[in-house]
Amino acid sequence: MQDPSPWIERFADLIPTGGAVLDLACGGGRHAHFLLQRGHSVTAIDRDVTALTPHENLEIIEHDLEDGSPWPLGARIFAAVVVVNYLHRPLLPQLVAAVAPSGLLLYDTFAIGNETFGRPSNPDFLLRRGELAEAARGKLEIIECFHGRIEIPNPAVKQQICARR
């Protein structure tokens, strides 16, 4: 399994102790399992959950986040909402709303400029400068926001935010 995103590792200690975490578009579960090891219960959502390893504190939800069906979590809130390498703009309001009081939004995905490094290169899947900060504005306190080139694990242009309710 791949290592967790350095951005998620960096801010994981700020997640309220023992709080429930949402891992959206979880893929193989690298962040879910990282956070389980840190004592959090995790709700992991993806359209294909076959790569996830079951765990007693892992709730697995198979759901296509882009097919127009209703948000599968209703009004549930989480100590942290974690999203890595995924963007579906219509979900941004639900993700911000799912952050509990004192909870975090930890988001790390590709941004405009990444097309010079390969995929994704479609602007529909690349954040515009300041887009995550704009989604959080007035709702969450921005602890740190980044937009630029990263080298680890591979060269890319990313936008990242750590914000607290």
Q: pLDDT for 90-135, tens place per residue? A: 999 999 999 999 999 999 999 999 999 989 998 889 999 999 999 9
Residue 118 has what pLDDT?
87
Tokens describing residue 122: 């479609």
Domains recognised in the chain with CATH numbers: 6-164 (3.40.50.150)
Neighbours of 29 (CB within 10 A): 23
Q: Counting beta carbons within 10 angstroms of the beta carbon of residue 74, is it exposed (0 to 12), middle (13 to 18) or buried (19 or more)?
A: exposed
pLDDT confidence band for 1 (50 / 70 / 90): low
Residue 99 has what pLDDT?
98
Q: How many Cα atoms sit within 13 Å of 132 on the Cβ side? A: 29
Tokens 């930890």 -> residue? 106
Phi, psi of 51 (to 5 degrees): -85, -5
Q: Counting beta carbons within 10 angstroms of the beta carbon of residue 123, is it exposed (0 to 12), middle (13 to 18) or buried (19 or more)?
A: exposed
Tokens describing residue 164: 């607290």
User: How would you classify residue 102: left for phi > 0, otherwise alpha for psi between -120 and 50, otherwise beta?
Assistant: left
Residue 153 has what pLDDT?
85
**Quick one: average pLDDT of 128-143?**
97
One-letter identity of residue 118:
G
Residue 101 has what pLDDT?
98
Tell me: the pLDDT tens digits for 15-68? 999 999 999 999 999 999 999 999 999 999 999 999 999 999 999 999 999 999
